[in-house]
């Protein structure tokens, strides 16, 4: 299917994991991809994979937490092409409750997971508004809706992602802009493998199984499964869908009781 032929999608955090899979999926369906990442090497690897599959795109090295950096670099892109699809995927994690979350920890998570989305929205929504067309997908989490132990800062940020989604969907529905979020549970990415290797070097396989079983479906999600859901929500097949939080969680939120 070429559901995105002639359209441009900007994907933050597109250099690895879920963001990379989303970039490749949308490119496979015809979109021109702007891969945004702070890690230039990672962004180039994603672009290489896109090119190897016959797709087209470019990379944008940008610190999404820095408003002036986002304004300057994204404005340069907008001089040459309109952004039809914005995927606010970039984010960072933090483990800890209120007692072991420092002010610096909270500020760091906020600056990327919340302010980073604000920065992208503030630059791109006005251009979508003028064109009366656009699709925005924000990366929320199961932590947006239910309590997760030792995720104080992370849950704070993902709760904000969810409510920003609702607000944007409401404010811009009359301008032809659709805004939704997706809410994955645990997804098997290199981040998970690195986390286990660092924190559980002696029993990483055991911990992997434990984390997998926390989803009622009995396994972690796949990044490609998230990418497929995102592609659907970005497409005209989902033209009647806006202001929702789409769970991709193996039953985590509704069946874990």
Q: Which residues are part of the catalytic machinery? A: 154
| Calpha distance 5→120 (Å, rounded) | 23
Q: Dmax over Cα atoms in the chain, in whole Å?
A: 56
111: its two tokens:
């600056």
- Of 143, 95, 93, the closest CA to residue 256 belongs to 143
Asked if residues 120 and 88 have their Cβ atoms less than 8 Å apart, the reply is: yes
Neighbours of 224 (CB within 10 A): 14
| Calpha distance 157→164 (Å, rounded) | 10
Categorise residue 172: left if φ over 0, alpha if ψ from -120 to 50, beta otherwise. Answer: alpha
Note the Cα 194 to chain centre separation in Å: 19
Categorise residue 135: left if φ over 0, alpha if ψ from -120 to 50, beta otherwise. Answer: beta
């Amino acid at each position: 299917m070429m559901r995105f032929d002639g359209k441009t999608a900007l994907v933050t955090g597109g250099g690895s994991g879920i963001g990379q899979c989303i970039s490749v999926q949308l490119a496979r369906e015809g979109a021109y991809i702007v891969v945004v990442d702070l890690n230039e090497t990672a962004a180039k690897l994603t672009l290489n994979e896109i090119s190897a599959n016959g797709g087209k795109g470019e990379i944008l090295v940008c610190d999404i937490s820095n408003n002036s950096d986002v304004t300057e670099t994204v404005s340069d892109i907008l001089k040459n092409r309109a952004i039809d699809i914005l995927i606010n995927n970039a984010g960072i994690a933090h483990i800890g409750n209120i007692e072991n979350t420092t002010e610096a920890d909270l500020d760091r998570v906020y600056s990327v997971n919340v302010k980073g989305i604000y920065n992208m929205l503030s630059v791109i929504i006005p251009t979508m508004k003028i064109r009366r067309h656009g699709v925005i997908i924000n990366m929320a989490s199961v932590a947006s809706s239910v309590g997760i132990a030792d995720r104080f800062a992370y849950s704070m940020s993902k709760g904000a992602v969810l409510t920003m989604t609702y607000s944007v969907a409401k404010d811009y529905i009359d301008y032809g802009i659709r805004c939704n979020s997706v809410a994955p549970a645990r997804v098997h990415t290199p981040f998970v493998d690195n986390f286990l290797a660092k924190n559980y070097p002696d029993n990483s396989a055991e911990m992997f199984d434990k984390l997998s079983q926390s989803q009622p479906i009995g396994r972690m999600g796949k990044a490609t499964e998230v990418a497929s859901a995102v592609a659907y929500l970005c497409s005209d097949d989902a033209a009647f869908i806006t202001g929702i939080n789409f769970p991709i969680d193996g039953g985590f939120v509704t069946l874990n009781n």
